[in-house]
Structures are given as structure tokens and as C-alpha cells.
Structure 1
Amino acid sequence: MPSAPAFAYEGPDFPGCLPMRLKAICRIAAVALLAMPLIPLQWLAVRRDWALARRLPVFFHRSVLAIIGVRVAVNGTQARQRPLLIVANHVSWLDIVVLGALAPLSFIAKSEVRGWPVIGLFARLQRSVFIERERRHKTGHATAAIGARLKAGDAMVLFGEGTTGDGVHVLPFRSALVGAAREALDGGEAAAYVQPLALRYAKRGGLPIGRGAMKEVAWIGDMDLAPHLVGILSGPPIDAVVTWGEALACDAATDRKTLTRQLEADVRRLVRAS
């Protein structure tokens, strides 16, 4: 697949002589100034179901990437077919900003995110679907909610691992929510589509990110958000690579576990290739 930079932002590169924390504060202030007028506008757009509710987050995320100095190269293209469920690997909170800048997308997030300060607000304004992964008896409700959004034409992003990885290895994918694509077939569609997507953080400050340095980008397990956020915002530019795989068609007879294994294999291959 040809590689084409979707956006290559240097961002406002604050002088290197600034202390790291001051650099992070400047970037946080810039994001806050950007968000303040957009939050009420997006809230109204979501309430009124305006088309703007899908496009405004793309502008916001691209602007944030410019401010914090993240450059994105894209291989392949998003599938045009609908309904479309996108299944990706998960490395960091930064994934939301990178993927949200690609196209109008909504995310499938764990229920705890809804209550997080600031991030929870942004997730709700992004029209995320919140699910309780640890309560298996609620999986049916979650897949139905995701299926309804897919049927309405929204492209939804599911992080197949269910948690963040170390940025080097792809963890096993969970199959429970992949079956949500079949829920979108109630409208009479012959098939729904599931597209693998691989995300890798390749360079920082122009230098390749090795296994040791990846911990500065990857947000793993119970890491505290605040110091990780400061580390990202105070550091040099980051180069991310996003690779779209070939969309897979599924119908009512498709076995979700077999489909999940195929998606996991595809994402692993795309991560290695990138």
C-alpha cells in the first residue's frame, strides 16, 4: 500500500530553552483555548444531531496534533462500505487524537472513561459508546448499542485488545464486541464490514523509538495519566504511522471468534510492516 502523509504538523515548537514543565503548560493552555469555544458548539451539534457533530472533532484533533507536535503518516485508506467497524491495536491515550484526526469516527470506550475529568467530557462529545467490559451479562446491550450506531452510518473504532499494550507487541484480541458488526444487519444489509487498523509510534525527535523509549509514549496498565501527559507534551515531536488493512465482509453466519483471530493476525502483520 502506498504511504501518504495525511497531515505532517510541526506545531508551535516552543523554544527548547523553556523548562519541560513550562513547555507542557504552554501546550495545555493552547489546547484549552482551542477547546473553550468548540465545546458548547459540539454539545449543541450533538443534541441537534447536526452533521457538524461528526466533522468538528476531526478539526479539533488535527489542531491538537499541531499544538502538541505529533506528525501522522497514513498507509492505505478507510473503507467506503457501511456499516463499518474498525478494529485497532491500542497503545496510548494519544491514539484517540491520532485516529480522531483521520476522519469522522466514534470510539467504543470502557465505562470508566465517562467519569474521567476532561477526557470523559471529550469522549462524550465525540459520541463514544461506553461499555462495561467486566460485566459479561451486559455484552448483549453493548453490542446492540454499537450495532445501532453502525446501522445509522457511523464508523466506530473498537480497540481489539481491550486495554493498552506496550507499543511493541499486540495483545490478544477479545471477540465479545467484534460481533457488534452483525447487529447492524437488521436493516436489511447483505453484509457489514470490519476493517483492521494498525497504529505505531515510530520516531520521536526524528530518532526511531526503541523498546526502552516506547514507555515514554505507551500508556500501560495503571500508569498515572498526569505525569505521562506531561512527558508527551514536554517532549520533542512524535511521528505516528497509521496503516489501514483490507476490510472484511461479515454476515449473520460469520463466526465472531474466527473473525477476531483474522483481525488480530492482520493487525499484527500491519504493525510489523509499518
Structure 2
Amino acid sequence: MITWIRIALIVVLLLVVTLVLLPFQLIGLAFDLKIRRYIPRYWHKTACFLLGIRIRVYGELDRRRPLMLASNHVSWKDILVLGAVADVVYIAKAEVANWPIFGTLAKLQKSIFVVREQKRKAGEQVNEIAERMKAGEIVVLFPEGTTSDGNRLLEIKSSLFGAAAAAVPHTPDGVVHVQPVALAYTRVHGMAMGRYHRPIAAWPGDIELVPHLMGVLKEGALDVVVAFGEAVEFRTGDNRKQLSLTVTMRIRRMLIDHLRGRSYEAL
């Protein structure tokens, strides 16, 4: 009974916050005002607080622009977590736009929806990403292309870095900064989360969204590490596969370190 009361309270409070922020975000979207970039961060911070997601940040967000964040992908919770620590915009699969709740929220954040199967649209989509980066927005890419079980980094697809290459000619210095980010879900209710328990935080994709969401609401108290690595400078003529290899190496190293608890040794 107490669990259901808690869930109801979370839903009501999140709805209230949404209704308060929504008019300002709609105005920002209608007139393409910069406030549309900042308001989602307050919503994500509130959502993480209400859901019991505690965030530890290691390293710093690169201050240089244009900036693309390349992160491993564990769950829909990654959106809340990254959105709570930085003013970002996401590159998402086109089908996300039709998801219940999350599709609407993605549209309100002006996510960039891509149709990977339709090559004729690829140029337009890459150009939109490049324009958004050129305008100073921080674009988040999940180069694995899908979610993992949270224990490892899946194969990174170098083709997804095409947006970084497309943005290079439009930058003043002829460079795009690609910063690796590792998301490691490490604890539940303050207890270290082993590899067999990490699926509590993960959403591999073959589990239906609503039951998984209810499980998270019931569980609560998740600790997640957001580790920012050293950014890679990508210039005209640079090789996307080399960029992919470098980003892969840095994300994997940070992910392994934090999953093994090395991030807590200094505390």
C-alpha cells in the first residue's frame, strides 16, 4: 500500500512540475528562444529527485563548441540523467516520437529524430544535427544504436558519427569536439550493484516499457555515475573509424572503472 502511495505521489508531483514548466517551454519552442534549451534541465533534475536517482559526476563537461557527447546507452533513465547535468538535445530513433509519454517529452525537448533505414533522408537529418551543433547546442549521440544490459559497452557504429563530420565545415575553427561519456549504474538502496543485479537499472529493449517503468517507480534509490572523458578533436579529413575507436576505448575504460567501484575509492 505504501509503495502505491509513493508512486501516486511521484506521478502527481511530476505532473505539477510539468504543468508549471510547460507554458514556458511551448513559448520557447514557438519562437525558438534559448530558454527551450534550459527548461528541460529543471524538469530532468526534478524527475531524478522524485525517482530517487542520485547522480555523481566525474570530470567536466567540455566548454568548447561545437560539442557532441558520445555516451553508452543503458536505459531511458539515461535521458533523465544526462538532461539533469547538462543542457543537451538528443539524437533519437524516429519510432521514439510515437512512444507514450516519452515521445511527447522528446518532442518538447526538440530531440532530433532520425530514420536510419531511409538513406534519402540521411542528408537532411545530418544537416539538421550539424546546424544545431553550429548554433551552440550540445548534441547527445548513443553510438551503440541500442541499449545494453549496463555491464558492458556494445559495438559502436562509426557511421553514426557522420553528423560530427558534417558539422566540421561550418565551424569557425574547422573542428568539432566529441566528448566520451560513461554512464554507470552502481548502487541500489546504497548497496553495490553486481553484474547480475544491474538489469534492475537497465532496459535492454525487449522488455515492455510500462512494466519496466513501474518496476523503477517501485524500486527507487538508484545511484548512477556520469563520467566525462577527454574530448576528441575531429577535423576535416579525419577518419570516422579512428574517431570511433578512440571514443570506444575511452568510454569502455571509464565504464569498467566505475562499475568496479574505483570511483568510490577516493570518497
**Which of the five TM-score ranges fits, normalised by the shorter chain?**
over 0.9
Task: Establish whether residue 183 from structure 1 lines up as the match of residue 163 from structure 2.
Answer: no
* Structure-2 residue corresponding to 1:5: none
What is the TM-score of this pair, normalised by structure 1?
0.90
Counterpart of 1:189, as a letter, is: D
1:54-76: per-residue Cα shift (whole Å, max 9, x none)?
Answer: 11111111111111111100000
Give the length in aligned residue pairs.
257
| Among 43, 64, 85, the residue aligned to 2:68 | 85
Which of 235, 249, 252 is residue 251 of structure 1 equivalent to?
A: 235
Q: Which of 180, 188, 208 is equivalent to 2:192? A: 208
Separation of aligned partners in 1, 2:122 and 2:158:
11
Secondary structure of the 2:55 match is: strand
> CA separation in 2, counterparts of 1:139 and 1:271?
31
Aligned pairs (5 A) from 1:106-121: 106-121=89-104
Q: Does 1:75 align with 2:75?
A: no
Helix, strand or coil for the counterpart of 1:230? helix
| Structure ranking higher in helix proportion | 2
Which of the numbers 80, 104, 120 marks the counterpart of 1:97?
A: 80
Q: Deviations over 1:167-187 (max 9, x none)?
A: 001100111221211222233
Q: TM-score, normalised by structure 2?
A: 0.92
Deviations along 1:61-104, one digit per CA (max 9) or x if unpaired, are 11111111111000000111111111000000000000000111
Q: Is the 8 A contact 1:175 1:260 kept in 2?
A: yes
Deviations 1:144-177 (A, max 9, x none): 2111111111110000101000000110011122
Measure how far apart 1:213 and its partner are: 1.6
Unaligned residue ranges in structure 1 (runs of 5+): 1-16
Alpha-carbon distance in structure 1 between the residues aligned to 2:88 and 2:248 = 21
* Offset at residue 137 of structure 1 (A): 4.3
The answer as to whether partners of 1:107 and 1:128 remain within 8 angstroms in 2 is yes
3-state SS of 1:101 partner:
helix
3-state secondary structure, aligned to 2:140: strand
- Equivalent AA in structure 2 for residue 253 of structure 1: G
Measured on the aligned residues, the alpha-carbon RMSD in Å equals: 1.4
Kindly provide the CA deviation profile for residues 207-263 of structure 1, in whole angstroms up to 9, marking residues without a partner as x: 111122211210012211111111111113111000000011011111111111111
